[in-house]
Amino acid sequence: MAQGKKPAGRATAAAGPRRTAKARPPLQAGPDGVVLLAGGNPQIAMADGDAPVQRYIAAMPGWKSDLGRRLDALIVRAVPDVRKAVKWNSPLYGAEGNGWFLSFRVFTAYVKVTFFRGVSLDPLPPGGTDRSKDSRWIDIRETDVLDEERFAAWVRQAAALPGWVP
């Protein structure tokens, strides 16, 4: 082998700069000591029922907690026998025996409300991509005005559809 050449297929330290993992921002503590993940999303243990959902909502930072209470109340009014759970650090809402129809999640500047079968709703919620062929969502920012009548109509429609079953 010629001097200065390295054998093919073998990496050496001189091959290039080392890649280092990006530093993650430190986790924050929310109300009641709940850990807030990236974007302020509360980390709540997976559990069924209203209590873990209410704990999630109470831990939502700032204005988002008020919005969470409002969303929860609108969903319960639209579907009085709604089933609730927290899974994957998000509250889920479902119809008994029909799967989950809705979830929401905290991000830095907004709360994302996802309808799992949103492509079947009328009118179609605005958020969606080719990656999520069935779901659609709305992003609600602090200064947005939520059309409660339209939201409740979407909730009633979504609850009547076959839901998502993980």
pLDDT tens profile 95-153: 988 899 999 999 999 999 999 999 999 999 988 765 678 999 999 999 999 999 999 99
Give the residue from 39, 75, 26, 38 showing the smallest Cα distance to 54: 75
pLDDT in tens, 36-49: 898 899 999 999 99
Higher pLDDT, 20 or 95: 95
Higher pLDDT, 96 or 85: 85
pLDDT at 70: 98
pLDDT at residue 10 is higher than 60: no
Domains of the chain: 30-160 (3.90.1150)
User: What is the pTM for the complete model shown?
Assistant: 0.79
d(CA 124, CA 165): 22
